[in-house]
Amino acid sequence: MRLEALVAMTLLMVVEADPISDAILKELNSLRDSVLNPLLSQKVPPKIPLSISKSGDADAGCIIPNPFGGCICHADAQYSISIDSLSNLNTLSVTNFTSCSYDGQNAINLTGAIAFTNAEPTGGAHAGCSACGISPSASGTVNTEATGVGVVAIQLTGALNLTSNCIQLNPGAQVEVTLALSLHDTNVVISLGPIPGVNIGALADLVLKIVPELTSDITNAVQGPISDAVTDAIHSGIPCIPVPH
């Protein structure tokens, strides 16, 4: 086959595929709120186990100064935080399917925007202080809320049903999630008895300050469950998609 003819055939396939791409995109968006998003809320696990931790230490200052100069007793603070689960991710939704390309054979590539609000990472917090040969410490809780927006890139195949003039999406989609997550409304509760010269509230503040450092770890941990939920929802909820004659 001459090169000119091959190029012309390729261009013809692309032109013919465009109405089908548009039809798939339009149908997915029409089913987004009525079918797909309700399924997403069911497919997301009610609680996702996590194993994420951060720790640090700080100089708590001199608590018994030497009247002749220097310090008789110096205090050091240690603090840590761990996130062991995330719940309430069932607010996850596809806000819009933004693009679709169909190759004229069976390959379909989709992109879409996703979002969720007020997911709840929870876990434990620990703080302690070492001073003058004693090391009191205490554990408590930490809870925060997570809001996320992102993009899903979906690769899948579809079988053209000539009798019904529609495309049935096949199982086996590959879903890649790119997510931007923020943490807010964080609450740290640690109960540690009074230590002369040491601001105990400041220890809880130290724990609070390392919470944002958990953002990337939480993001990475939830991308897999989000990908699985989107895959399951598409395969279980999308009917054969009508295509132009």
Of 36-40, 103-107, 128-132, 196-200, the least confident? 196-200
Q: Given pLDDT bands bounded at 50, 70 and 90, which one contains residue 22? A: very high
Mean pLDDT of 36-51: 93
User: Tokens in use for 40?
Assistant: 């997403």
Mean pLDDT of 103-128: 90
Q: Given pLDDT bands bounded at 50, 70 and 90, which one contains residue 17? A: very low
Which residues, other chains included, contact 11 with Cβ-Cβ below 8 Å and sequence gap of 6+?
none
Burial tier of 202 (Cβ tally within 10 Å: 0-12, 13-18, 19+): middle
Burial tier of 89 (Cβ tally within 10 Å: 0-12, 13-18, 19+): buried
Residue whose tokens read 């009525």: 34
- pLDDT over 70 (residue 158): yes
Q: Given pLDDT bands bounded at 50, 70 and 90, which one contains residue 70? A: confident
Separation between Cα atoms, residue 166 and residue 189, nearest integer Å: 57
- pLDDT over 50 (residue 1): no
Q: What is the model's pLDDT at position 60? A: 62
Q: What is the model's pLDDT at position 187? A: 82
Q: What is the model's pLDDT at position 244? A: 82
